[in-house]
Structures are given as C-alpha cells and as structure tokens.
Chain A
Amino acid sequence: MDAVATAFGLVFQPYVLLVIALSAIYGLFVGAIPGLTATMATALLVPVTFFMAPVPAVAAIVTATAMAIFSGDIPSALLRMPGTPASAAYTDEAFLLTKKGQAETALGAGLVFSVLGGIFGVLVLIVAAPALAEVALKFSSFEYFWLVMLGFTCAIFIAGNDPLKGLVSLLLGLLFAVVGLENPAGAPRYTFGNADLTGGIPMIPLMIGLFAMSEILRYAVVVVKPEMATDRPFGNVFAGMWTLLKKYPLQLFRGSALGTLVGALPGAGADIAAWMSYGMSKRFSKEPEKFGTGHVEGIVESGAANNSALGGAWIPALVFGIPGDSITAIAIGVLYLKDMNPGPTLFIHNPQNIYAVFIVFILAQLLMLPFGWGAIKVAKRILRIPAALLMPLILLFCVVGSFAINNSLFGVVVMLVAGVLGFFMERWGFPVAPTILGVVLGTMLEEHFFSSLIKADGNFLVFFERPIAGTLGVLCLLIWLWPVLRMLRRRSG
C-alpha cells in the first residue's frame, strides 16, 4: 500500500500535473490535424521527455496518445479525413452522420465511448500486468525467445493484409538492429568504420524519421483540399449519450475487449483494433444494412476499441519489454533511457513507478471528457490552420529533436534516411510496424537465443522442454505452418 501512496505523491505534483495538461492539449491538437498521427505525436515528444524524470516522461506519452486517438475522430466527422489512422475505420460513418445534421452525435459518441473504452483497457492493464509479471518472474531465456518469436509472428500476420511484405519489413528491422557492437561476439557489424555506427542505429531518431518525417514527405507529395461538412455551431455533444449507452452496452464491451486484446498483441495497435471492431460490429448488428449510411453503432464499438487498445499495448510492453504497438515501441525506448527497464522485476523493484503509470492512465481518460469537449468546441478553428504552415515547423522539430538525443548530427542523418525509407515503404505496401518490432526486439532475440543455445548445448528439443516455452513454441510453429496446412487440406479436399 505504501507504494500506492508514493505513486499518488509522484503524480499529484504541480509539475507532473502541468506536464499532463500540456501533453493533453498537444495530443488533442496533433490528433485533430489530418496527417499528424498519434505515433508521430509520441516520437516528437521523446526529445522533450528526454529531459524529464521518469513519471512525468511516461505521463506525457500516455496522456498525449490517449487524447490523440480520440481527437482523430474530429476531422473524421467534419472533413471526412481521419485525424489519425485509428479513426479511419469509421470515418465515413462519422462524416455521413454530420452530413445528416447529427455532428453532435458523431463527435459525442467518439468522445464518450473513447473514454469508456480507454478506462476498460486501463483496468485490464492494472489487473493483468502485475499478474503476468508474477508468472514472468519464472521465465528463462527459452520463454523470452519464444515470446519474441510470437511477437514477430503476430506483427507479420495481423498487422498487414500481406504477410510476405510484413516479413520483409521485419527483416529490415532486424537488419537495423544488427548494426553496431552489441552482439554475443562483441564484433562490429555493418559499422563501415564509422564511430557513430558502432553504438548501433539510434532508436529515437529512427522512429522520428519513420513516423514523422515520412508523414511530412507524404504531405509534400500528395495535396488534398478537404471541405468542412458543417458550418453551424455545435450543440451539446453529450446529449443522447446515456440513451446510446443503454442501447449499445454489448457493443461497448465487445469493442473494448477486442481492442484491449488486439492492443496487447505485438505489432497491432489502435488502428487495426478499430478496423476489426468495426467489422465485428457490422457482422453482429441487428441492423447491418444501416452501416455505411451514418449509423452510430459502429462508432460506439470501434471508437471504444481504438482507445482500449492503448492500455492493452502497455501490458506486454511493461511486463516483457515487448511492445504491443508502435507507440509503446517508442515508449519502451524512453523507459530504458529512464532506467525503468521493462520486465517483471520492474514490478518488484519500482512498484511505485508502475502504480504512478496506472494512475496517470486513469487520470488521462478522465481528463479526456473536459479536454475533449473543449477540443470539439474549438475544432473548426484548429482545422482551419493550414497544414502547409505546420509541416515545415514540424520538420524543424524533427531535425532538432533527432539532434538533441545525442547532441549529434548523426541522429539527423538517421532521421532523414528513415523518413525516406518510411515514405517508400508505405507507398509500396510494406507495413512499418514489423520493422519497429524488429529494431526494438532484435538485440533481445539474439541475446536470448544465444543464452538458450548455451544452455541447450546443441539439443534443440530443450527449446520445448519447459511447459510455457513449449506451449509458446508449438503455438508459433502452428501459426507458421498454418498456410501450408491449409493448402494441403484444400488440395486433398
């Protein structure tokens, strides 16, 4: 209990609360501007959080992302452009509602069910993470090896519609992770005699490049002129929400549960959770014919799903150091920088920090109601800010932020190269999430593989001997062999 009290003390300080309030506004703003994503918001925050204590640093990321995922709904409803990819699943639905003169319902449902879904995800995180940590304490390198493999497998098969390209993305990520001195033999790999590269490719500039710089390039290449769907002032966005809640409790629960689960799976985050939930909502709806005509049911379910995914993603991130989505992939980097190395021991040695993160999570969801309401009020003004004015400013921020991590121009070069790479990957249909997972987990994979190998002493069956490791291993093999098995069955049938 002492730890909980300490945690409250860590969060309820003027400085931390100020950080939370500012990141909330920042997150709402970034989320509301089409082309600026929640992941980009996180990547750009890192250079700033670099200079903070652990709790405010994590608080800034948690708050900003929660707000950004909600406020992505705003331009969906008003411009038919998702503010973040997580809103794309129900953008048409929200826009058509606005066209029907029900902008308040579209925005209100987005807000209220985001909050409820978010709280669901956080509660699961609070219950599941410490329980999983207990189990994870007994893990050896074998379990970690298979967990990483399972993470890669999820990222490839869930994160995109083309597993082959997902695999290429993952391999590229692993190739980045290989660079530098940090490997079992301590040999320089792909450093080309460059002193900067011996330390490996710096993670944060790489992320800023892949998620922020690439968006700027995308904006530069494709020019879209959106039109505002409504010009009248909004009424009460909370009107009718209670009725919706009573009408769709099952949808709320289903969306939140699926969202949390998808969030917790490595490589898949809020955007995929929203797409899956929208599909599920339509499939199980009593009035599926209304979907796609401005029907609020899908917004309720997938709006809850994308926010619950955020909490879910932190479960594997905190317990195993395996990111549940791109946002937590960046957050893990921050945790390492702050000496809060993720893993089960974090729950034993620093429980107050973990509890503080939980408190921040709940606080962020509760703050979303007033802050989100405010954001909807000023939405039209925010959406009139020309992106042409913002993009060069964000570019400067990317450059200085990448420089600030090590005070080195090498970071800026990495950022630029990663930006161009991210741009072409998206264009040619290669998902970026597996790459990030490869970069983050490459070192971990190699380390656990080699310590397992030494323990196994040449006998590969040892990888399956321990019960949990064996289960995870068989699960991995089944997923890998599934396409082959299906093909064989089709042939015989």
Chain B
Amino acid sequence: MQRTDRWVGIALALLGLAVLWSARAFPDVPGQKLGAAFLPMLVGAGLLLCAFSLIVRSQRGRAYAEDSARAAGSEHIGSSLVIIGSVLAYVFLSERIGFLIIAPLCLMAGFLAFRIGWRRALLWAVVGTVVVHFSFYKLLRVPLPWGLITPFY
C-alpha cells in the first residue's frame, strides 16, 4: 500500500498541477472577483496538497489500514482485460455491425474468459442477447443499432 500510495500521490500531484494550470484561462463572473476558475483552482490546490501528504506519509512508512475485505484467491488479469476489451469493441463496432451481432460476441467473450463451457456459453449468449434486445428495444424503445442487418429488418 505504501508503494502504491507514493505512485498514486505522484499521479495526483500531476493531475492537480494540470488542473491548476488549465483553470487560469477560465473567465470570471462579470462584476465579481471570482468565476469559473474558482472551484477548479480549489480542487487543483486540494489535490496537490493531498498528493503531497500521501507521498510524505508513504515515505514515513506509516502503514494505514487497508481494506481487509478483499478476498484471498488467485488473480486473473486476463479476464478483466477481456471484459474491458469487449466494452471497447461494443463502443467502436455496435453502430457498424449492429446490436444483434456484437452483443452475443461480447457475451461469448465474457463467458469464455470466465471459463464457462462452449455450448453453455453459446446458449446463454443467444438467450441473453434476445432478452436484452426484447426488453430494451421492444419494451423500453431504446434505439439499439441494427448495423449490418438493417436490410433484413
């Protein structure tokens, strides 16, 4: 925790500086001494101060209570990357290829990353897509994109 605190502190300090630097350009409220820059300035200064305290504290080696609720177990970075990747894929591809194609692919990727068997994954990918499409497109009238299959719609 101390080492991450130090790195997080450095990152926060940079963020604080960036906020302070960018806030200079914000205009004042006409007739007032303060304006749009006030809150960002305050946030930037606060971040800088907190960052400084975090770094100092981590240097002194004071161990602060860590959330002990985190369960023990082996870590899988890969499956979380698959999850993030599938959302990115949805963002970039859904308009082009359509919900009914991208959604089952995303679901499949997630199931397989979590070690669900092929056949079960395929079944639930289809069922999940149909249920979500029905409830959001039909019932709630959310315009989910048709993409490639627009001509068949």
Interface residues of A (CB under 8 A from B): 47-48, 50-51, 81, 85, 88, 161-162, 164-165, 167-168, 171, 174-175, 178, 183-187, 189-190, 213, 216-217, 220-225, 386, 388-389, 391-393, 395-397, 399-400, 403-404, 407, 409, 412-413, 415-416, 420, 423, 426-429, 442, 445-446, 449-450, 453-454, 458
Contacts and interface: CB of A to CB of B under 8 A. Distances in A.
Given A175-B43, A189-B40, A416-B84, A220 B91 contact: no
A416 B106 CA distance: 14
A391 B76 contact: no
Contacts of A399: 87, 90, 106
A225 B43 CA distance: 42
B74 interface: yes
Contact of A167 (B39, B46, B74, B110): B46
Contacts of A415: 87
B71 A224 contact: yes
Given A216-B83, A220-B76, A426-B67, A164 B57 contact: yes
Contact of B91 (A88, A413, A427): A413
A185 B39 contact: no
B106 A222 contact: no
Contacts of B84: 217, 416, 420
Contact of A189 (B26, B28, B47): B26
A442 B46 CA distance: 15
Contact-residue bracket for chain B: 35 or more
A462 B42 CA distance: 21
Interface of B: 1, 4-5, 8, 12, 19, 22, 26-29, 32-36, 38-40, 42-43, 46-47, 50, 53-54, 57, 64-67, 69-77, 79-80, 82-84, 86-88, 90-91, 94-95, 103, 106-107, 109-111, 113-116, 120, 124, 128-129, 132, 136, 140-144
Q: Is the interface of B mostly helix, strand, loop or mixed?
A: helix
Chain A interface SS verdict (over half): helix
Contacts of B5: 428
Contact of A400 (B19, B80, B136): B136
Contact of B80 (A221, A407, A409): A221
A171 B140 contact: no
A168 B39 contact: no
A388 B136 contact: no
A174 B76 CA distance: 33
Contact of B67 (A213, A216, A407, A429): A429
B116 to A, nearest CB: 5
B124 A220 contact: no
A168 B87 contact: no
Given A185-B27, A189-B36, A416 B73 contact: no
A413 B90 CA distance: 10
Given A395-B86, A412-B90, A388 B115 contact: yes
